Structure 1
């Protein structure tokens, strides 16, 4: 089974990694994991002020920070993975990565949103779920 494991460095994405590790233990064949991180682009005026090299460094540092724990956990569990690091609209980019790799499932965390935080999915999760044909596991 090939999964897209979306991470953002949060405690909730750490839970998603733990879920993927548990799923790997439950399966007879090892998971194929695509570890994905998508960083939102900076506002145009901020990017222009910073300059191209500084923006590139900013996104590289963000990706490193957001993926560090997930990489460490997957390596410790003996799960091989490939990485997809991008800058762009998060749900759209995750969906493109999922299609590119022809994943069987997407695993991601949800922070929730709105005044009834515990009752609703976050906007990223909701958009991914509503625009894919593969199963999505949301970890909270």
Structure 2
């Protein structure tokens, strides 16, 4: 089973990684697509940087850095994975990546690092839950038995 594992560096995202590892440990044949989505640059950032390529490089470096904690867990568990750092609206970008990689399942934390965005627009996990064409497993707490599965 190919699992999309969005990772933003939050505690909830680490819990989702641990849960995916546990599923593999329980016998599920698993391939992981580990993804970090960076929000697009603001107008201010574009004005200050003067060079969009500098912003893209900084964004890619930040995403790669964020993924390191999840990669360490996956490496220690011996799970095969692919990584991608993307830029854009997180929920829509995750759904696009899900389709591009042909993933069968999404495993993600219930909330991430963007509290203001969650309060104003609804959480990324909620948006992915409603837009994904595959089951979405939302890990809600550090109690790894506490998850919701929805289609």
TM normalised by structure 1 equals 0.87
Secondary structure of the structure 1 residue equivalent to 2:36: strand
Q: Give the number of equivalent residue pairs.
A: 133
Moved more, 19-28 or 73-82: 19-28
**Runs of 4+, deviation exceeding 6 Å:** none
Cα distance in 2 for residues equivalent to 1:77 and 1:26:
12
**Cα offset for 1:47?**
1.7
Matched, 1:48 2:47: yes
Deviations 1:9-37 (A, max 9, x none): 11111101000100111125x30111111
Q: Is 1:9–1:65's contact at 8 Å kept on the other side of the alignment? A: no
Q: Tell me the residue number matched to 2:31.
A: 32
Structure 2: segments with no counterpart, 5+ residues: 141-151
Task: Name the CA shift for 1:53/1:100 in 2 (closer, same or farther; >3 Å).
Answer: closer
Cα distance in 2 for residues equivalent to 1:8 and 1:134:
21
Cα distance in 2 for residues equivalent to 1:43 and 1:70:
27
Structure 1: segments with no counterpart, 5+ residues: none
Q: Is 2:111–2:124's contact at 8 Å kept on the other side of the alignment? A: no
TM normalised by structure 2 equals 0.81
Q: Tell me the residue number matched to 2:147.
A: none
Q: Tell me the residue number matched to 2:87.
A: 87
Q: Tell me the residue number matched to 1:64.
A: 64
